[in-house]
């Protein structure tokens, strides 16, 4: 199939229209309010968009210039749908950033620039919360869930070095041992 033909798009193609791909669909229950929940919102949106084969509209891997003919119009349609999905997951104060935008990737990059810069502050707060977390009257399951959620968020924001070289092993082992404390 030539890239300009629309009649027979595979159901896995990012420009294939699904019945569930309606504007205004709420992909995640979390609303982006700012830097305090950007990391979780971003991660949840990426998971949802990947599951719908639309992550490329915000990460830059699915750009308009990749398409020709009728597929350009389909790209424009999906770009607007992704903008609409994003709009349904942000606070009212952030809506103008979406309503007046023409490109989902630019909105995504703008939110990242505005809210992701506070990762060092969030990392500090997570380390502090982990260090001061006590079971108290919580059940073991509740206590463990709170701790695991914080470690998982920390792993997303500041992942462990994936290098398997000899020099990095002591640092990786130390961090793994700290997680056990």
Buried b (16+ CB within 10 A) or exposed e, 128-153: eebeeeeeeeeeeeeeeeeeeebeeb
Q: How far apart are CA 113 and CA 118, in angstroms?
A: 10
**pLDDT range class, residue 108, cuts 50, 70, 90:** very high
Q: Is the pLDDT of residue 1 over 50?
A: no
Instruction: Give the pLDDT score at 181.
Output: 59
Q: How far apart are CA 107 and CA 176, in angstroms?
A: 36
Instruction: Give the pLDDT score at 153.
Output: 82
Instruction: Give the pLDDT score at 19.
Output: 78
SS (H, E, C) the chain: CCCCCCCCCCCCCCCCCCCCCCCCCCCCCCCECCCCCHHHHHHHHHHHHHHCCCCHHHHCCCCHHHCCCHHHHHHHHHHHHHHHHHHCCECHHHHHHHHCCCCHHHHHHHHHHHHHHHHHHHHHHHHHHHHHCCCCCCCHHHHHHHHHHHHHHHHHHCCCCCCCCCCCHHHHHHHHHHHHC
| Share of residues in the chain with pLDDT > 70 (%) | 90
Range of weakest confidence among 18-22, 102-106, 142-146: 18-22
- The answer to whether the beta carbons of residues 48 and 28 sit under 8 Å apart is yes
Q: Is the pLDDT of residue 2 over 50?
A: no
- The answer to whether the beta carbons of residues 32 and 90 sit under 8 Å apart is yes
Q: What is the pLDDT of residues 113-126, one digit of tens each?
A: 888 865 677 788 88
């Amino acid at each position: 199939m030539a890239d300009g033909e629309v009649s027979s798009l595979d159901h896995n193609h990012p420009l294939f229209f699904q019945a569930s791909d309606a504007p205004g669909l709420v992909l995640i229950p979390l609303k982006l309010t700012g830097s305090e929940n950007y990391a979780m919102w971003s991660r949840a949106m990426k998971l949802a968009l990947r599951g719908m084969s639309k992550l490329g509209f915000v990460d830059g891997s699915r750009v308009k210039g990749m398409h020709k003919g009728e597929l350009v119009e389909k790209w424009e349609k999906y770009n607007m749908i992704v903008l609409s999905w994003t709009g349904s997951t942000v606070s009212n104060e952030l809506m103008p950033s979406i309503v007046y935008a023409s490109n989902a990737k630019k909105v995504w990059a703008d939110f990242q620039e505005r809210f992701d810069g506070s990762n060092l502050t969030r990392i500090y707060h997570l380390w502090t919360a982990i260090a001061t977390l006590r079971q108290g009257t919580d059940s073991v399951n509740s206590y463990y869930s709170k701790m695991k959620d914080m470690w998982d968020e920390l792993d997303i924001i500041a992942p462990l070095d994936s290098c398997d070289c000899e020099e990095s092993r002591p640092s990786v082992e130390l961090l793994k041992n700290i997680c056990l404390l």
